[in-house]
Amino acid sequence: MCLILVAWQSHPDYPLIVAANRDEFYARRTRPAAWWGQTVSLLAGRDEEAGGTWLGINRQGRVAMLTNVRAPDQPVTRTSSRGLLVLSALQHSGSFDEWSRENERLSQGFRGFHLLVAEPLPAPVRGVDARLACYTNRPEGGQSGWERNLAPGIYGLSNASLDTPWPKVTKAVSSFACQVAGRVAVEPLMKLMADRELARERELPRTGIPLDWERALSAVQIRANGYGTRATTVLTVRRDGSVVFVERSFDSEAPHAFQDRRFEFVIDGTGQRAAALDAPRDGERN
């Protein structure tokens, strides 16, 4: 995944809105979004070569999504796929804190990544508060640890730290903020993520890759030699627990051709959650 835009607790009807592009080599075998397993508790695409995923949501409403850290100067070593961290976060039945404690040390064995994990709706029955956290094994700036809780707002994440002002991040976040300020709809967000305009040379970041690749990777939607945007995902979670998940996957042989898959469901326990939130608290009367 190379570009993730997130509106977190910033819309009156949608606590979470996500628009994301997954960029990958066309030759890498990928399975499109579907429900996983016999219990169909996890919705995500699948990396057929390493078994993980890049973005998904489970029936309880937990969302996880990941980007790699661009670090061409670091030696390439054989490690586990970072997509397994997304899968781990979605399959973990415990709290954020439990997952964090179990995976902080293990995360050092992966190449650089940033992982966003969200619980868009509070679940009093399970003792869960609404929360969005960013986990990384490559902390920068003022970040002291591997976990950072995010305040309500709009965020952009590419292949560097959260909100690093690469041209495509700055441009996409601005357009995304305008789009989600009003009526939230899938197709305008898909159009936003399909922008192929390249950044001007003077605007390009210098990340250690050749200039022609720096230029090719500066677009929101990438079309390069053997590499590009393989899928665009739009995910919305309403406060009533209804979820819309749309994946637009692009043909690896003909990247201009695409197929949409749309999923709609209601987060498990939404009725229980509403009843718990409406129940009188100590000192209150009906």
Taking 60 as the threshold, does the pLDDT of residue 283 lie above it? Answer: no
Query: How confident is the model over 138-183, as pLDDT tens digits?
Result: 877 656 578 899 999 999 999 999 989 999 999 999 999 999 998 9
Domains annotated for the chain, with CATH where assigned, are 3-278 (3.60.60.10)
Average pLDDT, the chain: 88
Higher pLDDT, 78 or 169: 169
Share above pLDDT 70 across residues of the chain, in percent, rounded to a whole number: 87
Higher pLDDT, 109 or 246: 246
| 202 to 184, 205, 212, 214: CA distances (angstroms) | 34, 8, 13, 11
The pLDDT value given to residue 143: 62
| 247 to 31, 85, 122, 208: CA distances (angstroms) | 12, 21, 26, 32
Listing DSSP states for 96-165 in one string gives HHHHHHHHTTGGGGSPSEEEEEEE-S-BGGGTB--EEEEEESS--TT--SSEEE--SEEEEESSSSTT--
Taking 90 as the threshold, does the pLDDT of residue 122 lie above it? Answer: no
What would the mean pLDDT of 10-18 be, rounded to a whole number? 97
Query: How confident is the model over 218-271, as pLDDT tens digits?
Result: 999 999 989 999 999 999 999 999 999 999 999 888 878 899 999 999 999 885
